[in-house]
């Protein structure tokens, strides 16, 4: 499933094709993806202007001139293709947006785990997909104090806590493992240990916030879709030597909350 850097990369691709452009035509080729399309989906978009293309966690948000907001989740296999010429839709091309910019924006999703919804004016914060999200990891609002308060008293492991979307929005399995390695923190340590009993951040919380911002920024900079296993520090590197200079450890894998976690048992404490 695409993680935050991949979604941010898609957002940056869509921005010049869609932002401040009008939906000249919308073709929907099936009644649903993961969930049904909202009533009159195409009609509610046609003629409206996309004011921007934004991201919240792993969701794309397109505020419209009508006051509604188009919400998109890519699911496991969803992607957008941007072309200038109209072509016959392929088998997995489910939604086609013709923009006033001349761009044809096609959403394809072979497994149909993605979704699209229209959120009424003023209801974004109450939408089920967005209501419980925590701070954006790349925002100024996400800092060591915020993280420490979020994990204070938590008995779960640090890695599992980072995957809770109410703790930090959009941080997924791969980049949580990468950030923990950068910060030299074991994924198995109790989450509450990075905070004092009163919820003040310890040095570990400062290091972890810095690491999260670093690995996400690096992934986006490297063009997220090209951020392959060859560039990861620990993810999918079971049995390989740790890449930290001077560390003699080898990467191990374990399962946490049904997800594979990769880590170095020597330098991550």
Query: Residue 72, Cα to own-chain centre: how many angstroms?
Result: 12
User: Is 2 designated active site?
Assistant: yes
Output phi, psi for 201, to 5 deg.
-75, 135
H helix runs in the chain, sequence order: 4-18, 41-45, 144-151, 158-162, 173-182, 203-221
Nearest of 134, 135, 145, 174 to residue 260 by alpha carbon = 174
| Residue 3: active-site member | yes
User: Residue 1 burial (CB < 10 Å; 0-12/13-18/19+)?
Assistant: middle
Among the options 3, 68, 136, 164, which is catalytic? 3
Catalytic residue of the set 55, 58, 207, 233: 58
Whether residue 38 lies in the annotated active site: no
Q: Are 107 and 162 in contact (CB under 8 A)?
A: no
Catalytic, out of 2, 63, 135, 201: 2
Give CA–CA dist 141/135, Å, rounded: 6
The residue annotated as part of the active site, out of 34, 44, 152, 259, is 259
- Token representation of residue 261: 């976690």
| Among 88, 53, 263, 93, residue whose Cα is nearest residue 177 | 263
Read off φ and ψ for residue 183, nearest 5 degrees: -80, -5
Query: CB–CB of 109/28 below 8 Å?
Result: no
CA 39 to CA 255: how far, in whole Å?
41
- Beta partners for 80? 107
Distance CA 209, CA 116 (A): 31
Distance (Å, rounded) from C-alpha 214 to C-alpha 196? Answer: 24
Residues labelled as active-site residues? 2-3, 58, 259
């Amino acid at each position: 499933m695409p993680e935050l850097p991949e979604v941010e990369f898609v957002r940056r691709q869509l921005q010049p094709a869609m932002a401040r452009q009008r939906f000249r035509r919308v073709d929907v080729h099936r009644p649903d993806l993961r969930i049904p399309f909202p009533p009159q989906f195409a009609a509610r978009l046609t003629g409206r202007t996309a004011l921007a293309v934004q991201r919240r966690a792993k969701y794309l948000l397109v505020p419209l001139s009508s006051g509604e907001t188009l919400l998109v989740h890519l699911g496991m296999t969803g992607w957008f293709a941007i072309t200038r010429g109209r072509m016959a839709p392929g088998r997995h091309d489910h939604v086609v947006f013709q923009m006033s910019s001349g761009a044809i924006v096609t959403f394809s999703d072979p497994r149909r785990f993605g979704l699209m919804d229209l959120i009424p004016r003023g209801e974004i914060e109450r939408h089920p997909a967005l209501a419980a999200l925590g701070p954006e990891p790349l925002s100024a609002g996400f800092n060591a104090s915020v993280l420490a308060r979020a994990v204070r008293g938590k008995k779960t492991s640090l890695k599992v806590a980072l995957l809770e979307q109410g703790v930090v929005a959009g941080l997924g399995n791969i980049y949580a493992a990468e950030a923990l390695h950068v910060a030299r923190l074991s994924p198995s340590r109790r989450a509450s240990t990075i905070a004092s009993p009163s919820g003040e951040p310890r040095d570990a919380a400062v290091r972890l916030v810095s690491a999260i911002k670093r690995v996400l920024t690096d992934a986006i900079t490297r063009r997220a879709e090209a951020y392959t296993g060859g560039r990861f520090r620990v993810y999918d590197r079971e049995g390989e030597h740790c890449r930290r200079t001077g560390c003699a450890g080898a990467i191990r894998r374990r399962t946490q909350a049904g997800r594979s976690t990769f880590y170095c048992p020597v330098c991550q404490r």
